[in-house]
Amino acid sequence: MLSIIEAAGWPIWLIIITSIVALAIIGERFWSLRTSEVAPRDVLYTEPKHPYTGALLSAVPIANPDIGRQREAVVLEGDVPSPVNPPSGCRFHPRCPRFVEGHCDVEEPPLYQFGKSQAAACHYPLERWPMTAEEMRRAGSRTSAQPQPA
Ligand code: SF4
């Protein structure tokens, strides 16, 4: 497949970007058997709510090197937990930069609804986007993004 695309001269980087995000979200969905975030494509790219989505988007290469150099990727630390023995509470909590002890590791987040078309399983959704890694670590400052269970 890759060689066909290369021969056709397609913009491989763009295809890979799309695939990474899509596959990662699908992978997360199947890995944990839980949906992390659901949204139309444009909303997902511009207003992600789940920290995992934000971390993925922060790692997507930007074609403009000037803009790309200004952006800081959010690096997820730790190992992907075992699906055989998933973590308590939010299954993403061992790797989440916004993890809040005593909440995220205790209560599994439901799918919170944001507007009419978006839902994310996170107690401390991203207030805006883009965010730096440091900004993403500041959980608990929910204001306009106060989630309501779907
Ligand atoms: S519920 Fe907590 S651990 Fe899970 S994604 Fe949200 S902030 Fe991170």
What does the pLDDT look like over 32-46, one tens digit per residue? 567 889 999 889 989
pLDDT surpasses 90 at 50: yes
pLDDT digits (tens, 9 = 90+) for 67-104: 777 778 888 888 888 878 889 999 899 999 999 999 99
The tally of domains found in the chain comes to: 1
Query: Ligand 1: distance of its center to the CA of 135 in Å?
Result: 14
**Domain housing 68:** 2-149
Centre of ligand 1 to C-alpha 9, Å, is: 41
C-alpha–C-alpha distance, residues 147 and 144, integer Å: 9
Residue 93's SS3 state is helix
SS3 42: helix
Give the number of the atom of ligand 1 that is nearest the alpha carbon of residue 97: 8
**Protein residue whose Cα sits closest to atom 5 of ligand 1:** 122
The structure's pTM equals: 0.73
Contact (CB, 8 A) for 136 and 74? yes
